[in-house]
Amino acid sequence: MKRIDLVHTIKQKGNFLCVGLDSDLTKIPDHLRNDPNPILRFNKAIIDATHPYCVSYKINTAFYEALGADGWKIMEETLNYIPKTHFTIADAKRGDIGNTSNMYAKAFFETLSFDAVTLAPYMGKDSIAPFFEYPGKWGIVLALTSNPGSADYEQRTLDNKPLFEHVIQTTASFTTPENAMFVIGATKATELAQIRTVIPNHFLLVPGVGAQGGSLEDVAKYGMNADCGLLINASRSIIYASSGIDFAEKAALEAKTMAQEMASLLSLYAG
């Protein structure tokens, strides 16, 4: 999906919500467990219920790989079920030497037809470069994450700047705001103002609102630009809003509540 279409969808729907499908057999409602394909059934119900209130879905590959080859099949079927109007993200955190990253890019952009894949930058520029060679596809590079371990390396200073800022600058130097986004955790909202001085135009994928405790309002206040420039992900707080037979209804309600707050924030900060 091209940037212009993503921005159009966000403005038209009035939200920038990404629903994370971290679907776990041990957490989905009991009554689905006897289904021949419980995770797929769960995902379809969540997508049916939430798609009016979001612009994107993020599939966390770990949860599908834990089911082996069957899990990859479920990932594929889930991806194919998501309406073409929605921006699709493989949250896979890949990155390797060039010839291997070529294969990962093929896996997520050709074999599967995701719009974007998240990337781990530790091995440097050439380890993520192959993902930026697909027109209309996106690499979303880990910069500053919301977990405690972000203090171990990401936030450490080298040459007067935190490592994550080096990652942002190096990546921005060989990609464009049309094919690169960055992951910035919602619990780091105050760093967003500084990050916006470095990359005013890029989209940011922001996890950590919801179960991890980040503030939606702060993220919008410090991170939004004229094109919105934000995709805010919520996973557990939406998909596990209820463990009863009303799980899809409650997920929709949760998504709708977030979408409504986002509509106000859009008119406040990206008006």
> Using an 8 Å Cβ cutoff, are 88 and 114 in contact?
yes
Answer for the pair 21, 234: CB distance below 8 angstroms, yes or no: no
3-state class (DSSP) for residue 219:
helix
DSSP assignments along 64-80, one per residue? HHTTTHHHHHHHHHHHH
Looking at beta carbons only, is 25 or 263 nearer to a copy of itself? 25
The pairing of strands 17-21 and 56-60 is: parallel
Applying the rule CB under 8 A, the residues between 79 and 108 that interact with a copy of itself are: 91, 93-101, 103-104, 106-108
Q: Which span sits near a copy of itself by CB under 8 A: 8-16, 163-171, 216-224, 248-256?
A: 163-171
- The helices-and-strands tally (H runs, E runs) of the chain is 11, 10
Minimum separation from the CB atom of position 234 to a copy of itself (A): 14
Candidates 154, 165, 191, 254: give the one binding a copy of itself (CB under 8 A). Answer: 154
Residues 199-238 that bind a copy of itself (CB under 8 A): none
Interacting span for a copy of itself (CB under 8 A) from 30-38, 116-124, 193-201, 257-265: 116-124
In this structure, what DSSP letter does residue 242 have? Answer: -
Per CB under 8 A, 133 contacts a copy of itself:
no
What CA–CA distance (Å, rounded) separates 82 from 55? Answer: 11
* Active site (annotated) includes residue 93: yes
Q: Which residue in the list 58, 93, 137, 188 is annotated as catalytic?
A: 93
Strand pairing report for 56-60 and 116-119: unpaired
Q: Tell me the C-alpha distance between 95 and 104, whole Å.
A: 8
- In angstroms, give the least distance from the CB of 4 to a copy of itself: 30
Distance of alpha carbon 41 from alpha carbon 261, whole angstroms: 29
Give the containing element (helix H, strand E) for 41: helix 38-50
CB 45 within 8 A of CB 70: no
Q: Which of 32, 120, 198, 263 binds a copy of itself (CB under 8 A)?
A: 120
Contact set for a copy of itself, span 44-83 (CB under 8 A):
60, 62-63, 65-73, 75-76
CB 226, min distance to a copy of itself, A:
30
Among 2, 48, 51, 123, binds a copy of itself (CB under 8 A): 123
Residues carrying an active site annotation: 93
- The footprint of a copy of itself (CB under 8 A) covers 22, 24, 60, 62-63, 65-73, 75-76, 91, 93-101, 103-104, 106-108, 110-112, 120-127, 142, 145-154, 156-159, 163, 166-167, 170
